[in-house]
Every structure is written in structure tokens, then in C-alpha cells.
């Protein structure tokens, strides 16, 4: 009888956890990637996605070393902060991010995500981001096993799954990365954590069919290459359909 009661309590706790996670994930967040915007009229582009109902603005930082491409730095992030009322979701694709964290914190990042492979001081970086009151994010290259994130999951607010190789926009979606979302969703439930699962790379209203476990969708070319309002809404509808097809995960 005691054993039966214990099992019932455990099952009830698991049900409550699922309900809590479902509440967190009621509405998918759409984060247009500024990398795909027209930099000659950046404020107009920011206004366009804001008015169209975007939730966050995703900002890719590349240093030409950790990844081949070179993009923007803290001054542009600070300028975006002045004209954008959405949370700035800053993804650092740079070597030794510990040297630059303070600059991006001061520039106005709302979420700050580092790569697991970019530093030997991952825990130190995550702790520094936490101390700054920014959201703490961690990501990894497609070739890195998702289990490598496990020691750090309790330290983060967000885990970014790359479904392309980092460094360039406009790449094809990699379906062989979807298992990472499923693993992260299972670990979140098992550990009783609340981190968000974000996806970046080849996201469209077609590929979103594979992304039921995602909480945040980053989309660049798909959003900016058409009517941004229609594109954002089509992502929401596609994600809702994907979740329903998986039984409302």
C-alpha cells in the first residue's frame, strides 16, 4: 500500500511538471534573425518585425575565427537596443567569449548564448552571464553530441540547437539534428528544469513540422524575404500543428 501511494505521488508530480512546462510553452516565441535584414535600413527592419508580432530579435555575432564569417559587435548591439523594444537574443559565435561578455552585457543583450566549443571556461562564462541578470544561453555545433550539454543544463535558461553549421545564413535545414530537441525535452522533464529550447538554422513553415519540442524559433531568410507578418504567423501555425501532431508535447 505504501509503495502504491509513493508511486501515485511520483506520477502526480510528473503530471504537475508536464503541466508547468506546457504553460511555459503555450506560445511559441518567434525571433527573426537580424543577420537576414537589410543593414542599410536596420531601424526600419526592426520596426517591421516588431509591428508584425515578433517576440524577440536574434542577433548573430561572428568573429571570423570561431566561424569563418565576420558580422557585428557591441556598438551595433547597443544601437539595436536603442531602437528595438524586443528582447535582444544575442548568439556569440566567437572564440574565448569570456573576454567579450561584459561588452555585450553593457550593450544591452537580454539573452546571451555562448558555444560549448568556444572556451574551456564554460562554467565561468555562464556564471558571469547569470550575475549580469541576462538570460543564460548555451549552444553547440551540429557535430557535437548533445549529451555534452548535460553538466551545464542546471545553469542555463536557454539551449540553442543549431540545425545548420554556424557561420552563414541561408543554409539548408539539417533534419539529423532534431533528435537533440527530443533529448533536451526529455532531460528537462527528468531534471525538473525550465530552460527554453531554441532552434536556429533553415527554419521555415515547412521545416517547423520537425520542431514540436522547440520553444523559440529563429528565422532569418524565411521571415525577411516576404511579408514578415504573414511569415511570422505561418511559423506559429506550423508549430501549433507540429505540437498537435505529437499529442501536444
Looking up cell 573576454, which residue turns up? 99
Task: Express each pLDDT in 42-99 by its tens digit.
Answer: 999 999 999 999 999 999 999 999 999 999 999 999 999 999 999 999 999 999 999 9
Task: Express each pLDDT in 196-209 by its tens digit.
Answer: 999 999 999 999 99
Domains of the chain: 27-245 (3.20.20.70)
Q: Closest by alpha carbon to 111, among 76, 94, 86, 82?
A: 86
Task: Express each pLDDT in 23-47 by its tens digit.
Answer: 445 689 999 999 999 999 999 999 9
Active site residue 47: no
Q: What residues have CB less than 8 Å from 104, skipping those under 6 apart? A: 61, 74, 77, 90, 92, 112
Task: Express each pLDDT in 110-143 by its tens digit.
Answer: 999 999 999 999 999 999 999 999 999 999 999 9
- pLDDT tier at 1, thresholds 50, 70, 90: very low
CA–CA distance, 182 with 159 (Å, rounded to integer): 12
Q: Which of 89, 200, 205, 215 is labelled catalytic?
A: 200
Looking up cell 552585457, which residue turns up? 105
The answer to whether residues 101 and 121 touch, using CB atoms and an 8 Å cutoff, is no
Cross-strand pairs, 59:
90
Active site residue 60: yes
Distances in Å between the Cα of 146 and the Cα atoms of 101, 117, 124, 140, 180 are 24, 12, 20, 8, 6
- The three cell numbers of residue 67 are 566561424
Q: Which of 60, 89, 205, 215 is labelled catalytic?
A: 60
Amino acid at each position: 500500500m505504501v509503495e502504491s501511494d509513493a508511486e501515485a505521488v511520483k506520477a502526480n508530480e510528473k503530471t504537475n511538471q508536464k503541466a508547468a512546462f506546457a504553460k511555459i510553452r503555450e506560445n511559441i516565441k518567434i525571433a527573426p534573425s537580424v543577420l537576414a535584414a537589410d543593414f542599410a535600413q536596420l531601424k526600419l527592419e526592426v520596426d517591421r518585425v516588431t509591428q508584425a508580432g515578433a517576440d524577440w530579435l536574434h542577433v548573430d555575432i561572428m568573429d571570423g575565427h570561431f566561424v569563418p564569417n565576420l558580422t557585428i559587435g557591441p556598438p551595433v548591439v547597443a544601437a539595436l537596443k536603442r531602437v528595438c523594444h524586443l528582447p535582444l537574443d544575442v548568439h556569440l559565435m566567437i572564440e574565448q567569449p569570456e573576454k567579450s561578455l561584459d561588452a555585450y552585457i553593457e550593450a544591452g543583450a537580454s539573452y546571451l548564448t555562448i558555444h560549448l566549443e568556444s572556451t574551456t571556461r564554460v562554467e565561468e562564462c555562464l556564471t558571469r552571464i547569470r550575475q549580469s541578470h541576462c538570460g543564460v544561453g548555451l549552444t553547440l555545433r551540429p557535430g557535437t553530441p548533445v549529451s555534452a550539454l548535460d553538466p551545464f543544463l542546471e545553469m542555463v535558461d536557454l539551449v540553442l540547437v543549431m540545425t545548420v553549421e554556424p557561420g552563414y545564413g541561408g543554409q539548408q535545414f539539417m533534419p539529423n539534428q532534431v533528435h537533440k530537441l527530443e533529448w533536451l525535452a526529455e532531460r528537462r522533464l527528468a531534471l525538473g528544469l525550465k530552460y527554453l529550447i531554441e532552434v536556429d538554422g533553415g527554419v521555415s513553415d515547412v521545416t517547423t513540422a520537425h520542431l514540436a519540442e522547440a520553444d523559440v524559433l529563429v528565422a532569418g531568410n524565411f521571415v525577411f524575404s516576404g511579408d514578415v507578418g504573414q511569415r511570422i504567423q505561418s511559423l506559429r501555425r506550423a508549430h501549433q500543428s507540429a505540437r498537435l501532431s505529437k499529442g501536444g508535447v
